[in-house]
Structure 1
């Protein structure tokens, strides 16, 4: 069902471009027909100036339509079409009583300009034409309206512009809303883990790399936390993967609701909590004032899951092991920092689980340089068992 909705949203998100392309095509074909038709009539009646203008406009519009079908880009094509249509509308307005045209053609011309353009473009062009028409019939030459009264012509023209622009506005709003839904869906697929709703590994690493650079010279503490559910394999083996998925969702929800995951400065949610792989999660804590505040957060995470998991399977209490690596003391880049936190997490597991360990870096007397310790040699500078 979600795949079907996604496909429909994708189709509707592309609706604006396809509609505009088709509108420009249809209006161009109709305008071409009328231009060459009236160009021929003007030739027969020896109105050479009007014939030249109509035929020249038809040739330009033909080239415009050819380029539109070849390149599939309608922005320039729309402007050319609107320019020719407004030129014809102006000729009808000023010379309608002296040629083969009729003032009634102004109405479909204005409607075509509005619907073939983006809302704002159509609004500006239609208002500009209405102003010119009003000035013309009120102050320059009221006789151009022919059998129509001035008031009837102006009211009908303004009413047409109002209706067409209103329709174009609500259509534009609807398409914008559909496109925003589509963009949000694409963002969720690209950046979020579909099972837990947390950030996925890719989005976390992209965000965290930039965040570490921001925090490099900060006076506060920045820490990478690697979290793993204790005995999760036995939960999957005993109750099945469906229950295992529910446990992951439960843990994710508790983390999101109890650990800060938005920037204090911007108040926008970030990607600081992520599902790394399987039952492994990572958190990047930044802006922590001191070590005691950090340990308070770590203890709070350990105690988040003391209550029994609420489900018909009666799994009981969940326990987690945490590995902590400090930036830039333990590592100066994200990959190494993640490795350090991972090693510290395994140390916490090997030393009894349900606790946190800091990563410990020690000096190698053989190589005479600082090296990362193996998992078995990670020293628990601090651990806590609830």
Structure 2
């Protein structure tokens, strides 16, 4: 399951990287054509120094483009292309007196550097562009006319830098938000049961194993609770699976509303409540202060169906059987703890259902030979006591 989540997140990262590779590739092709064209022009005008420089930059960009096509990743091709573009921008600033009309190339050069890099790198490089233009403006003020043109050009360059970096910032922020939504969606698909919204069996077991190792040395009570809806098959057979699904959703909602599902220290949601299989649910109750508090939680859980369907003529008297195993008294690992809680739950069913039972050494005897006194907490015998509706309870421990 973890490979499923990682695979989908990796797939999204690959899509983003592919788009960036296409952008770097497009900028490289345009740069290659432009550099080669100006190199030929400089050679024709017998300006051999600039011709050689452009030829070297053309070879670098060509090699960079070849590496980009050959390898899957960027392999720092975006950084190398940015270096070439910034070097060309520096040449334009140094030789702008000879080729003033070419200063306009600074705009697409800066935009390209911002576009092909991550936001922070693009911000640094574009700011450096502006600083180079400012330095050229300061040191070359001998001609008043040239100075006025450079001031207007510099202002336009700074404005473009601000606009492009603002757009890059919000684009990066949008991508992070989309990735967060995508991650949450994938995690919900992988870790949650789609019908009830509770944790699924895999995510519960992965989380519970880590949690048991954390609470092993604490003085508080830790228990695994195994729940099964009594006669649920009869509900499905009589009223259909749609009604059965609504019963499961209602029970899951009441579990979430009445059992603590946040870590008391970090206040983060955990996977302590899970749909184990079919109409079976599991809860890992940890950090419970005392056995008396645990009994109160179990009584509240056992009454979750009380008056749930009082207004309908279809379903009445839904109940649950609950088995409880204590950690580490009954078992010191999750697998064995689940097995003990499961046996305790079946013992509760054999003793008449609608009750909870702790695991004990005589469980196997109870399952094969039902005694007159099951020594369990029978909810049916206590129905005359006043029972609060589950929704009236606050979310306390458990």
User: Is the structural similarity TM-score above 0.5?
Assistant: yes
Residue aligning to 2:140:
141
Distance in structure 2 (CA, Å) of the matches to 1:141 and 1:100: 13
Say whether residues 1:384 and 2:378 are aligned partners: yes
Q: CA deviation at 1:375?
A: 3.9
Deviation track 1:90-117 (CA, whole Å, cap 9, x = no partner) reads 1101123236971111111001111111
SS for the counterpart of 2:131 is helix
Residue aligning to 2:162:
162
1:355–1:384 Cα contact (<8 Å) kept: yes
Deviation track 1:198-247 (CA, whole Å, cap 9, x = no partner) reads 00000000000011111111111100000000010100000001110110
2:68–2:75 Cα contact (<8 Å) kept: no
Distance in structure 1 (CA, Å) of the matches to 2:102 and 2:66: 29
Residue aligning to 1:4:
none
The gaps in structure 1 that reach 5 residues or longer are 1-8, 363-370
1:3-14 equivalent positions in 2, closer than 5 A: none
Distance 1:143 1:224, change over 3 A: farther
1:168-179 equivalent positions in 2, closer than 5 A: 168-179=168-179
1:330–1:359 Cα contact (<8 Å) kept: yes
Distance in structure 1 (CA, Å) of the matches to 2:185 and 2:211: 25
Residue aligning to 1:366:
none
Q: CA deviation at 1:285?
A: 0.3
Residue aligning to 1:236:
236
SS for the counterpart of 2:377 is coil
Residue aligning to 2:278:
278
2:42–2:48 Cα contact (<8 Å) kept: yes
The gaps in structure 2 that reach 5 residues or longer are 1-8, 383-398
Q: CA deviation at 1:10?
A: 10
1:325–1:358 Cα contact (<8 Å) kept: yes
1:1-386 equivalent positions in 2, closer than 5 A: 16-74=16-74, 76-98=76-98, 102-138=102-138, 140-142=139-141, 146=146, 149-309=149-309, 314-361=314-361, 375-376=367-368, 382-385=376-379, 386=382
Residue aligning to 2:395:
none
Distance 1:377 1:48, change over 3 A: farther
2:228–2:345 Cα contact (<8 Å) kept: yes
Deviation track 1:34-91 (CA, whole Å, cap 9, x = no partner) reads 1111112222223222222211111111111111122131261110111100000011
Distance in structure 1 (CA, Å) of the matches to 2:49 and 2:142: 22
**Structure 2 length as normaliser, TM-score?**
0.87
Q: CA deviation at 1:313?
A: 5.8
SS for the counterpart of 1:91 is helix
Distance in structure 1 (CA, Å) of the matches to 2:96 and 2:66: 30
1:261–1:273 Cα contact (<8 Å) kept: yes
Deviation track 1:163-195 (CA, whole Å, cap 9, x = no partner) reads 211222222222222221111110001100000
Distance in structure 2 (CA, Å) of the matches to 1:333 and 1:302: 25
CA RMSD of aligned residues (A): 2.5
Distance 1:101 1:143, change over 3 A: farther
Deviation track 1:319-359 (CA, whole Å, cap 9, x = no partner) reads 00000000011111000000000000000000010100111
Residue aligning to 1:365:
none
Distance 1:217 1:381, change over 3 A: farther
SS for the counterpart of 1:98 is coil
Aligned residues, how many? 369
